[in-house]
């Protein structure tokens, strides 16, 4: 069984929200995603999707997007992005998935998953560049959520490697040494690899891809990956 990752699917089936404002790469992207996914992912595999899965504003609007995801092979682990407005509480989300029969989808939120002897942890993260009071508060909150995820994993499996999945970048190419609470948590608990999305079009130029302080950082935005899930194990 293999593990794949891809973020920022921005599925538009519940509402009419075109993505070509982010460039020509997004033209016909759902067809490209469907074809690419089916070409590499099998039903025994796991795919992790950290954020911006759907354009839906309300949970009912997200049903066509979840139906699309459910038809794709593999087990899926999703987490929240900045555009996933349909998210409610964890209890309501799990009830929704159960009632609608989306049995291949699980949610990463203040918890972890053990997949192929890897600990899958994460949180949404937040914009580490903004310095407003509310932004600082949100960065600290997301750092706490990331730590809760890692601590839950470490409690049950103290020796296994941790892969972290965030929506927002915890590090940028132009200033990788800039400290922030989220990156501090990653380093404190010895996370081996960190995957993130959020960046599109020209924003991709700001992505840090490589190793910093013994952590490998990788961008997995759908357009960056050309809508091909990245195999990570």
Write out pLDDT tens, residues 137-171: 999 999 999 999 999 999 999 999 999 999 999 99
Q: Could you tell me what percent of the chain has a pLDDT over 70? A: 98
Residue 110 has pLDDT above 90, yes or no: yes
Rounded to the nearest integer, the mean pLDDT of the chain is 94
Provide the pLDDT for residue 112: 98
- Per residue, the 3-state secondary structure of the chain, as one string, reads CCEEECECCCECCCCCCCCHHHCHHHCCHHHHHHHHHHHHCCCCCEEEEECCCECCCCHHHHHHHHHHHHHCCCEEEEECCCCCCCCCCHHHHHHHHHHHCCCCEEECCCCCEEECCEEEEEECCCCCCCCCHHHHHHHHHHHHHHHHHHHHHHHHCCCCCEEEEECCCCCECCCCCCCCHHHHHHHHCCCCEEEECCCCHHHHHHECCEEECCEEEEECECCCCCCCCEECC
Residue 130 has pLDDT above 90, yes or no: no
Q: Which CATH superfamily is domain 3-231 in?
A: Metallo-dependent phosphatases (3.60.21.10)
Of 64, 51, 73, nearest to 15 (Cα)? Answer: 64
Q: In the chain, where are the structural domains located?
A: 3-231
pLDDT tier at 7, thresholds 50, 70, 90? very high
Rg of the chain on CA atoms, in Å: 17
Provide the pLDDT for residue 8: 96
Residues 6+ apart with CB under 8 A from 185: 143, 146, 147, 150
Q: Could you tell me what percent of the chain has a pLDDT over 90? A: 88
Residue 19 has pLDDT above 80, yes or no: no
Mean pLDDT of 120-141: 93
| pLDDT tens column, 59-102 | 999 999 999 999 999 999 999 999 999 999 999 999 999 999 99
Mean pLDDT of 41-50: 98
pLDDT tier at 21, thresholds 50, 70, 90? low
Provide the pLDDT for residue 233: 93
Provide the pLDDT for residue 23: 72
pTM: 0.95
């Amino acid at each position: 069984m293999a593990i794949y990752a891809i973020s920022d699917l921005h599925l538009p089936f519940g509402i009419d929200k075109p993505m070509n404002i982010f460039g020509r790469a997004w033209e016909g992207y759902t067809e490209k995603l469907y074809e690419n996914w089916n070409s590499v992912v099998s039903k025994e595999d796991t795919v992790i999707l950290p954020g911006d899965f759907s354009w839906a504003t309300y949970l009912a609007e997200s049903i066509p997007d979840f139906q699309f995801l459910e038809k794709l092979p593999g087990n899926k682990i999703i987490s929240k992005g900045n555009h996933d407005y349909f998210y409610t509480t964890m209890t309501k989300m799990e009830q929704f998935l159960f009632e609608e029969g989306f049995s291949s989808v699980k949610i990463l939120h203040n918890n972890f998953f053990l997949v192929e002897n890897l600990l899958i942890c994460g949180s949404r993260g937040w914009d580490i560049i903004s310095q407003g009071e509310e932004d600082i508060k949100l960065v600290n909150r997301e750092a706490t959520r990331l730590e809760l995820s890692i601590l839950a994993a470490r409690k049950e499996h103290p020796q296994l490697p941790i892969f972290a999945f965030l929506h927002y970048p915890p590090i940028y190419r132009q200033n990788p040494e800039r400290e922030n609470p989220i990156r501090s948590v990653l380093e404190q608990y010895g996370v081996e690899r960190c995957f993130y999305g959020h960046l599109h079009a020209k924003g991709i130029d700001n992505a840090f891809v490589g190793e910093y302080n013994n952590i490998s950082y990788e961008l997995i935005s759908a357009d960056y990956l050309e809508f091909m899930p990245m195999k990570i194990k």
